[in-house]
Structures are given as C-alpha cells and as structure tokens.
Amino acid sequence: MRVVMNAMAAMGKRTGVGHYTVELTKALRRAGVNVVEYPHPLSARLRTKLVGEVVPASSSGEVLTSNRSLLRRIGRAPFRWSWRAWIEIEARQAFRPRLVDLYHEPNFFPLRTRIPTAVTVHDLSAVLHPEWHPADRAAKFATEFLPRVRDFAHILTDSDSARDEILRTLNLPGDRVTRAYPGVRPAFRSLPRDEVQATLERLGLPATYFLHVGTLEPRKNLLMLMKTFTSLPTEMRERCPLIIVGPWGWRFEELATYYETEAKHRNVIHLGYASESDLPAIYNGAKALVFPTWYEGFGLPAAEMLACGGAVLASSTPAVAEVLGGCGMLLDPADSDAWRNAMTRAIDEPKWIDELKRGGPERAAEFTWANCALDTIRGYDAALAR
C-alpha cells in the first residue's frame, strides 16, 4: 500500500498534531506501509531555513514564523513565493492516482485530490464550540470541513468517545469511522531523580509543583485553574507552585490579563514552549498533573503523565476519563471547590498522591504507536474497500 501523508503539521516546533504525524508515519513504515511525505522532509527543512521556523498558532489562529523583524520578512518574501511554486510541483508528483493508493490528511482539512482520502478528525471542538476558536477558524470548519465530510473515504479519530461524537454529530454510518488511539512516545517514562533534578535546576523550576501541559486556549479551562490555585493559602502556593507549559493559543486575552496582573505574582509560572528533551523530566518532577479541560478528543498530557509514573487530577470529560481508565482522579471542570480541595489534599497528603499513581504506567503502556498504526491500516483498508 502506498500512502501520501501531509506532513505540513510536523514542520518546525511541534504541538500535538505534529507529533501525531511524525510518530504515526514512522509506525506505519515499520508496519510495512509505503508512506510518502508531502512536502518532502528536505523541502520542509529548506523552507524553515529560508522562510523561518513555523511556531504554534497565534492568538488569531494564524501560523507565525520565528522571524519577527519586518525587514527580514520582506527580504524572505521571494523565498516564500519560490516555496509555494515548489510545493505545487511536489503536489503534482505526490498525488498521481496511478502511483498512490490513498492520501492521509492528519489535520482536518484535506487538499483536493483525485485519490481516496482518509482524514484524522482529532475532535469536533470547532464545530460544537465555535466560541472557543477564532472566528476565521470556526468559519473554515463550516465552509471547508463540514460540506466535504461525506466525500472523505474514511475518518480516523483518537478515542471511542470522539468516534461516538463524530458518528452522532455528522450522522455517519459506523463503518466510516475508525478509532486509533495515539501512542505515548518512549521518552515518557519514570526517570532517575538526579536526572530530573538536573533538568529542573537548569530550567529554574522548583523542586515540587503542580503541572499543566497544553496550548493556552479557552477549552483548557486555565482561567478557572489559575483563580482556584491563587485562592490557596500563601504557604501552600509557596510549597507547591503551579507550572504551566505550552504556547499562547487563541482567544487568550482574558487569561493573559489575569496571569500578568494576579497569577504570576502568586506562584504561577508560565514556562512557555518546552523542548521535547526536557518535557519527560518536567512531568517526572511534578507532584501532579492538573488538567481541568472542558473538552478533548484524547488528552495526551494525561497519558504522558501516567507513563511517567505521575499522579493526575483531571477533568471528567469523556475522552479524558477514557484515557485514564480508572487511574488518577476525575473532577467536574466547573467545580472550582473540588479542584481547590484536591490540590490542597495533594499538597498535604503524600500517601494519597501515591495512591493516585497506581497503575499509571501499565495503563499508558496500552497506548503504543504500533497499535495506532495497525488500527490506522484497518481504516485505510475500509477506505479502499469503498
């Protein structure tokens, strides 16, 4: 089987979809699938060097480059035009129906081609909760995603909860959607204490802290988390600060205002984007992951924390509950008192935290990229059978 994978999401600094694209591509190849990346990785590296590194989305939902200087951006304009021309040439080569069986779009919006298309729909937040997204992104789902859904040969998604929601919301038959759990990368595991401590000291992080990982955007419910944490007694906040790892996303203005005026003066630290090499140690050093999200299609930070042997305090939203599988503690994302009590207990009762850690690595071990590849191949077979 020869599959074209759109690798644009894997360019530059990676967030969830970028890691999904890279890891799934590697696992599919190990499973014997001939995966052709579009654009070619060499083209992507050249684009990064000439045009600028792609970084996570801005508050408007636009992809930015790391070259902030206006003069630099103007000077690189010819390279951007050359890049677009080159990509068009690559597309004509990559999507030739006689040479390719299937096109896999890992990030919602497939290119228009003449070959069968499988699309990964990680969640339906932009469809069900457009108020959480920039207006242009919500409009794009309304005009470019929903009208084309029935043209997709197959849909892949990250959890049974997401699959049920897709079938119900989009009114699709069951054989059109396949669940393929994402994997947890091998680097996420329990690490020696001295290795963890060295990373924390280099990053200037405290020895004990609560941790949140993810893009700072409305559906992550971070304003509630910050306000609840800052309501804790000073002594508790000083013993166990709140570390937030992740880039600013969209519609973050209210959150940023609260962070700048209140939270950062009361033991909340926004670390920003953390490197892949540092993130496992950051998980290992945390007293608990606090993950009060309103909505997820999977909830990868929760799975990564389990793999690192850590405790998880998480939202009771269906996909996250599915990922935890009975590990950790589930809390109503709207109940700030419950979150306050849970954080208080986590600080004061080490034995309770140890109880929450039980079974975590074993549960996380069920999420492998090899299994994801096998389930994805089942989806490919269903797509081609149509």
Do 149 and 215 sit in the same domain of this protein? no
For residue 380, tell me if it sits in a domain. Answer: yes
**Verdict on whether the full-model pTM lies above 0.75:** yes
In a domain, 63, yes or no: yes
Write down the pLDDT at residue 114: 87
CA atoms within 13 A on the CB side of 257: 3
The DSSP annotation for 115-164 comes to S-EEEE----HHHH-GGGS-HHHHHHIIIIIGGGGGG-SEEEES-HHHHH
- pLDDT (0 to 100) of residue 251: 83
Confidence of residue 66 (pLDDT cuts 50, 70, 90): very low
Query: In the predicted model, is pLDDT for residue 67 greater than 70?
Result: no
Please state the domain count of the chain: 2
For residue 268, the enclosing domain spans 193-364
pLDDT tens-digit map of 219-245: 999 999 999 999 999 999 999 999 999
Q: What is the pLDDT of residue 38?
A: 87
Bridge-partner residues for 54, per DSSP? 65
- List pLDDT tens digits, range 248-286: 988 889 999 999 999 999 999 999 989 999 999 999 999
Q: Is residue 112 part of a domain?
A: yes
pLDDT at 97: 76
Task: Encode pLDDT of 94-125 as tens digits.
Answer: 777 778 899 999 999 998 888 999 999 999 99
Query: Are 69 and 128 within one domain?
Result: yes
Say yes or no to pLDDT of 48 above 80. Answer: no
Q: Maximum Cα–Cα distance for the chain, whole Å? A: 67
Q: Kindly report the length of the chain.
A: 386
* 176 plus 230 within the same structural domain: no
Q: Is the domain of 102 the same as that of 156? A: yes
For residue 10, what are its two tokens?
Answer: 């894997």
Of 44-48, 54-58, 69-73, 135-139, where does the model show the most confidence?
135-139
49 within some domain:
yes
Do 63 and 133 lie in one domain? The reply is: yes
Same domain as 123, residue 108? yes
DSSP E strands in the chain: the ranges are 2-6, 34-38, 54-55, 64-65, 102-105, 117-120, 154-157, 177-179, 210-213, 242-245, 268-272, 288-291, 312-315, 329-331
Average pLDDT of the chain, as a whole number: 89
Shared-domain flag, residues 322 and 353 = yes
CATH at residue 130: 3.40.50.2000
Judge whether 188 lies within some domain.
no
Q: Are residues 66 and 202 in the same domain?
A: no
3-class DSSP state of 183: coil
